[in-house]
Chain A
């Protein structure tokens, strides 16, 4: 069969290629999203002092290092059996809200958004942040650059560095904030709320008022009816920093709500021979293949999933937008993958509102930003919502606090099965009769971009878990034996 290779996939974090096989009619026989990268964090972190983990795991991803830093820091609390004081928790959630708003901004304007702002089949050279700036003008570009600049400045102010902060400790954080810093954080938070509102309006004007785009969003090419996962607070509202994990079914019913430490009872992983990335699925539903539906354990963990898994947003402006999205797209849950871009912007608004809430909390400038652990370290789980999905860090240590084992389930890994399904479906529906163009291939790529994938994150683990399938064929080409091997 003829093979088209999209190599590499672009405007995401991480590496991948899509191989599309065309049959004799020129239709798509199959499409495979292969992730060829691995670095081995779960293995080489063994032997390291556990307090290094926030800094080591931050290097899993430089787009969302704050997510790993925070999950790792919470895991340290659990490993050392220490509960941080109130100011510490609030500082962490404040920092995290700032990061969330900034990261989502980067994705919408630089990674996934250009497909909508300049157009999915626009010339290749324009489909990027520079093309967006040329299209929307310097005024708007200035707003976007300011949001990113503010976000990274505050991450640096609180966490030490704008990328890869050095801040989290068991029992708290290494430094708090003073009144002057608090004022700056509050002011920039209010600016962020305005920016989020502006972005939602831009989405309205450029996307929702464009009938072609609405057809794309609500049509047949980018849709999968799967389970959805997200972290929620006690009121079942989305919370990025802490809470329980809630999973809802394709029809919107609650399937499970559990403490993140119990993740292994609910999630299992599966292996396929043509990619190094594993496929998590819901253990209690079971793996039925790359298929949709109530009986299939495939689930999504994306901004849209978080909205589907929650009952609302905890802040007023975001909650109003949340309701508007569901009213516009026909109720809960929404399965149209491209709507993830909309959900992402709503999350920017929530993050900004939460940012201001915490920045105006009287305890935020407190001196109790750190408590010292007193107990012997053993084992612990730290879980947060990364922008790209639920992030779980699980460490085991010896009595000196040296890591003996690590297990990570990372944001994008959750979405590997739905991403693969989305890519295949888009290829099948868009490429017919051998008619294929560069623009169409970009539309296939849009199927994964909505997830804002972070394949560097997803492929943290070492080749030890890599499967290889060897087919032993007879002289007539018939399959005699298929052997699956784990290679390292």
Chain B
């Protein structure tokens, strides 16, 4: 029986998904027996030119991790889509932008203005205001660099995606289960997230009672007890709005869930879900008190509600009209 062709590629990511794949341990040999790995820059020596020469659709499965931050990464997303029968958005970055998506609170121009005004004593002078050029002349010829987009995109905002595997990174057992599903031809309908349909709370061993929160605590303010639900103790545990599949690992070392497995089935804005959940446990009916609880306990709502999912949220990014520096937002007047 002939082997299938497998590719793994990384865009704006950290390499954790590659390590997670290696976490399937001895199953890596099963993978090697079933597939020829035709492109995997982290671990093998195939080059982009090799992929460009492959016939379209000749790669059976491509696991694509990382968000789309630059023109080069968009090019690679288009290339891998063209060459692959099945394209999987692998891990949180490809699925919903992940933590690098928080750069969507800023943009190139704002940073440039800040750097230009502040200046720095280590760098040579920089008096002129040029737009970025993708090409630099050196004595021997031209060197090219890709352009940086103002907004980080998810994989499905760039090309058509067949499946999603959530998690930052996905847990090794879920990766192996997904590979088995591919090999056995037992995948869910196209466009699905390969994961369970419940939240982390279902996997968490802590005891749950009714939640009545008068104050949200920062993690360094209290030492939680080891048995009771962390949200109940006033810590912001994102497990209430996060897809299960990890085994609720973080609460088991006394750390609140930070939401890396993304939203549950059927939810199209993770932050909206989490906002709703936290709003419903606030124990107050007084408008002033409610606002105080929110503002004191959640000083960084975007980072809390959209830590992994900003790029995939309904609004996708911060407003480019608002100047964001040092965590505060100033509104610039609308031009006529």
Query: Do A and B truly interact?
Result: yes
Any A CB within 8 A of the CB of B299? yes
Number of residues from A at the complex interface, CB < 8 A:
110
The segment from A298-306, A336-344, A400-408 that touches chain B is A400-408
Residues of B within 8 A of A483 (CB): 128, 130
Any B CB within 8 A of the CB of A87? no
Any A CB within 8 A of the CB of B188? no
CB neighbors of A among B249-263 (8 A): 249-250, 252-255, 258, 260
Interface pair B252/A160, CB less than 8 Å apart:
yes
State whether A164 and B43 are in contact (beta carbons under 8 Å apart), knowing that A1-B141, A47-B324 are contacts in the complex.
no
Closest B residue to A268 using CB positions: B122
State whether A488 and B115 are in contact (beta carbons under 8 Å apart), knowing that A10-B41, A11-B42, A164-B169 are contacts in the complex.
yes
Residues of A within 8 A of B131 (CB): 487
Residues of B within 8 A of A169 (CB): 219-220
Interface pair A47/B108, CB less than 8 Å apart:
no
Closest A residue to B114 using CB positions: A464
Any A CB within 8 A of the CB of B218? yes
Other-chain residue from A62, A128, A171, A462 in contact with B169 (beta carbon distance below 8 A): A62
- In Å, the complex CA distance between A285 and B110 comes to 35
Interface pair B148/A63, CB less than 8 Å apart:
no
Residues of B within 8 A of A485 (CB): 126, 128-130
Interface pair A11/B123, CB less than 8 Å apart:
no
Any A CB within 8 A of the CB of B209? no
- In Å, the complex CA distance between A161 and B253 comes to 9
Other-chain residue from A49, A61, A80, A145 in contact with B300 (beta carbon distance below 8 A): A49
Any A CB within 8 A of the CB of B2? no
Any A CB within 8 A of the CB of B274? no
Interface pair A10/B255, CB less than 8 Å apart:
no
Any A CB within 8 A of the CB of B286? no
State whether A273 and B136 are in contact (beta carbons under 8 Å apart), knowing that A175-B254, A404-B327 are contacts in the complex.
yes
Other-chain residue from A40, A127, A161, A271 in contact with B106 (beta carbon distance below 8 A): A40
Any A CB within 8 A of the CB of B303? yes
State whether A127 and B132 are in contact (beta carbons under 8 Å apart), knowing that A370-B223, A465-B115 are contacts in the complex.
no
- In Å, the complex CA distance between A41 and B46 comes to 29
CB neighbors of B among A142-175 (8 A): 145, 148-149, 152, 156, 158-164, 166-167, 169-171, 174-175
Closest A residue to B47 using CB positions: A7
Any A CB within 8 A of the CB of B334? no
Query: Measuring CB to CB, which residues of chain B are less than 8 angstroms from any residue of chain A?
Result: 10, 12-20, 22-23, 25-26, 28-29, 32, 37, 40-49, 69-70, 72, 98-100, 102-103, 105-106, 108-116, 122-126, 128-133, 136-141, 143, 145-146, 148, 168-169, 172, 218-223, 226, 246, 249-250, 252-255, 258, 260, 299-300, 302-303, 307, 324-328
Residues of A within 8 A of B113 (CB): 488
Other-chain residue from B70, B168, B172 in contact with A37 (beta carbon distance below 8 A): B70
Q: Nearest Cβ in chain B — how far from A373, in angstroms?
A: 6
Interface pair B26/A274, CB less than 8 Å apart:
no
Q: Nearest Cβ in chain A — how far from B243, in angstroms?
A: 15
Closest B residue to A455 using CB positions: B15
Which has the most chain B C-beta neighbours within 10 Å: A125, A466, A487? A487
- In Å, the complex CA distance between A171 and B32 comes to 45
Closest 10 interchain pairs by CB? Answer: A62-B16, A488-B112, A47-B327, A464-B111, A21-B140, A488-B111, A160-B253, A62-B14, A40-B103, A487-B132
Interface pair A62/B17, CB less than 8 Å apart:
yes
Interface pair B45/A127, CB less than 8 Å apart:
yes
Q: Nearest Cβ in chain A — how far from B249, in angstroms?
A: 5
Interface pair A456/B14, CB less than 8 Å apart:
yes
Q: Nearest Cβ in chain A — how far from B297, in angstroms?
A: 11
Q: Nearest Cβ in chain A — how far from B127, in angstroms?
A: 9
- In Å, the complex CA distance between A197 and B211 comes to 54
Any B CB within 8 A of the CB of A440? no
Interface pair B254/A1, CB less than 8 Å apart:
no
CB neighbors of B among A391-417 (8 A): 398, 400-405
- Taking A36-B72, A47-B328, A159-B253 as known contacts, 10 extra A-B pairs with beta carbons closer than 8 A to each other, sorted by chain A number, are A1-B140, A10-B47, A39-B100, A47-B303, A52-B300, A59-B100, A160-B255, A469-B136, A487-B130, A488-B112
Interface pair B260/A164, CB less than 8 Å apart:
yes
Other-chain residue from B15, B140, B327 in contact with A403 (beta carbon distance below 8 A): B327
Any B CB within 8 A of the CB of A130? yes
Any B CB within 8 A of the CB of A46? yes
**Chain A 112-142 interface mask (CB, 8 Å, partner B; 1/0):** 0000000000001101111001000000000
Residues of B within 8 A of A61 (CB): 14-16
Other-chain residue from A129, A175, A463 in contact with B111 (beta carbon distance below 8 A): A463
Which has the most chain B C-beta neighbours within 10 Å: A29, A36, A47, A166? A47
Interface pair A62/B140, CB less than 8 Å apart:
no
29 A-B residue pairs with Cβ-Cβ distance under 8 Å, sorted by A, are A1-B141, A10-B42, A11-B43, A32-B138, A37-B12, A38-B69, A40-B111, A47-B303, A52-B303, A59-B16, A62-B19, A76-B220, A111-B42, A127-B45, A133-B29, A145-B28, A158-B253, A160-B249, A160-B255, A163-B23, A174-B254, A274-B138, A275-B145, A403-B327, A468-B132, A484-B124, A487-B108, A488-B110, A488-B113
Interface pair B44/A10, CB less than 8 Å apart:
yes
Other-chain residue from A15, A51, A152 in contact with B23 (beta carbon distance below 8 A): A152
Q: Nearest Cβ in chain A — how far from B205, in angstroms?
A: 14
Q: Nearest Cβ in chain B — how far from A458, in angstroms?
A: 12
**Chain A 165-207 interface mask (CB, 8 Å, partner B; 1/0):** 0110111001100000000000000000000000000000000
- In Å, the complex CA distance between A52 and B102 comes to 13
Residues of A within 8 A of B133 (CB): 468, 470
